[in-house]
Amino acid sequence: MKRFIPHCMKIMLMVLFIFLLIACEKAEPTESESSPEPSLELEEEGAESGPIHIGFSMDTLEEERWLKDRELFKKEVEELGAKIDIMVANEDVAKQIAQVETLIHNGVDVLVIVPYNTEPAAAIVEKAHLAGIKVISYDRLIKNANVDLYVSFDNEMVGELQAKAITSLVPTGKYVYIGGAITDNNANLIKKGVFKVLQPYIQNGDITVVYDQWTEDWNPDNAYKNMLAALEANHNEIDAVIAANDSTAEGAIRALREKGLAGKIPVAGQDADLTAVQRIVQGEQAMTVYKPISSLAKETADLALKLADGETIKTNRKINNGKIEVPSILLSPIEVNKDNIDDTIIADGFHSREDVYGE
């Protein structure tokens, strides 16, 4: 067969092969993504300045939820006839600031930011305002800056739901707290909610928190190491674990498995990652906190376009970020355990029945 392919045919096949390679390259999730120019009739609408242009600066795509945020927010923005530029900083402060400079240079009308680090991100807000661009803090609050709007879930309530679920299963005993990333204001809020519920139990001596550590970059491997340290320091005598999200819960459960304790010690998580919901079905994780990302994406897209149109947004809440009372919208999180997976996550199509139960 090979012997009979004429020379020119080989060259054509080579060209075809290279062409396919480039096309596949295009398919890879990149650090930046932008939507195609909206069709002509949309053009007419904002003929003089073209469609509204949103810049979405994300921290990471490491956790499953952020892939959903990217996809759903892009869909909502484009369905409203606007265009979007998305950039992902991969947990790098300098890169996020540089990417935002690029988005400003690209002429975005509004910036939507998921800050990697809540403090240095203040510089981003300043740069945007100097360019006359409004800033929405998405899911995570930027501290000490004149943020125009904050849209998220009630993260303190996330912690309260976690602690209420675990204290109902383990009202007395030794607790381990696996916190989130200290660079993320949400980690502080979640912890505040957890300890608000635990305090009375701690006060009357029923519960002792024998280990309490932040997890750098929310990284499951760091959570795994922390959990191992907690087990070793307490001779494996632990009664409950509250982990700030499902990826840190995954790390903690990996350590429990090594000690033959997985499924014996209730573990709380957050984000309703598919693997976490599967662990709940298998009995290795007690609960997670589901946050309907589609509502967050829709709400933020609507508000971003209103801000771009120069509208003033009235909100029923204000959150102090250390500098100002930021107009805020906080959506309600939902507790999920083995009894309500169907009525929540599956009913919403967040995960399919096949994926969760493997049916």
- Site residues for ligand GAL per CB under 6 A: 63, 65, 139-140, 180, 184, 186, 218, 245, 271
- Closer residue to ligand GAL, CB minimum distance, 239 or 271: 271
In the bound complex, what is the minimum distance in angstroms from residue 156's beta carbon to ligand GAL? Answer: 12
Structure tokens that stand for 47 in this block? 């003929």
- Closer residue to ligand GAL, CB minimum distance, 167 or 288: 288
> Tokens 């675990």 belong to which residue?
166
In the bound complex, what is the minimum distance in angstroms from residue 194's beta carbon to ligand GAL? Answer: 14
Rounded to whole angstroms, the Cα distance separating 90 from 178 reads 22
- Closer residue to ligand GAL, CB minimum distance, 116 or 201: 116
Helices vs. strands in the chain: H and E counts, helices first? 12, 14
Rounded to whole angstroms, the Cα distance separating 342 from 332 reads 18
Rounded to whole angstroms, the Cα distance separating 199 from 218 reads 24
- Closer residue to ligand GAL, CB minimum distance, 35 or 144: 144
In the bound complex, what is the minimum distance in angstroms from residue 13's beta carbon to ligand GAL? Answer: 45
- Closer residue to ligand GAL, CB minimum distance, 152 or 167: 152
Return the half-sphere exposure (C-beta side, CA atoms, 13 A cut-off) of residue 287: 27
- Closer residue to ligand GAL, CB minimum distance, 186 or 285: 186
With CB atoms as reference, the residue minimizing the distance to ligand GAL is 186
Which residue from 169, 156, 168 is spatially nearest to 289, judged by alpha carbons? Answer: 156
* Contact present, 243 and 269 (Cβ < 8 Å): yes
What does DSSP assign to residue 345?
I
Which residue from 171, 200, 223 is spatially nearest to 62, judged by alpha carbons? Answer: 223
- Closer residue to ligand GAL, CB minimum distance, 197 or 330: 330
Which residue from 357, 345, 341, 245 is spatially nearest to 292, judged by alpha carbons? Answer: 345
Backbone angles phi, psi at 53, to 5 degrees: -120, 115
Rounded to whole angstroms, the Cα distance separating 164 from 322 reads 29
Structure tokens that stand for 127 in this block? 């740069």
Rounded to whole angstroms, the Cα distance separating 210 from 86 reads 42
In the bound complex, what is the minimum distance in angstroms from residue 63's beta carbon to ligand GAL? Answer: 4
* Contact present, 37 and 84 (Cβ < 8 Å): no
- Closer residue to ligand GAL, CB minimum distance, 85 or 250: 250
Rounded to whole angstroms, the Cα distance separating 30 from 54 reads 18
In the bound complex, what is the minimum distance in angstroms from residue 271's beta carbon to ligand GAL? Answer: 5
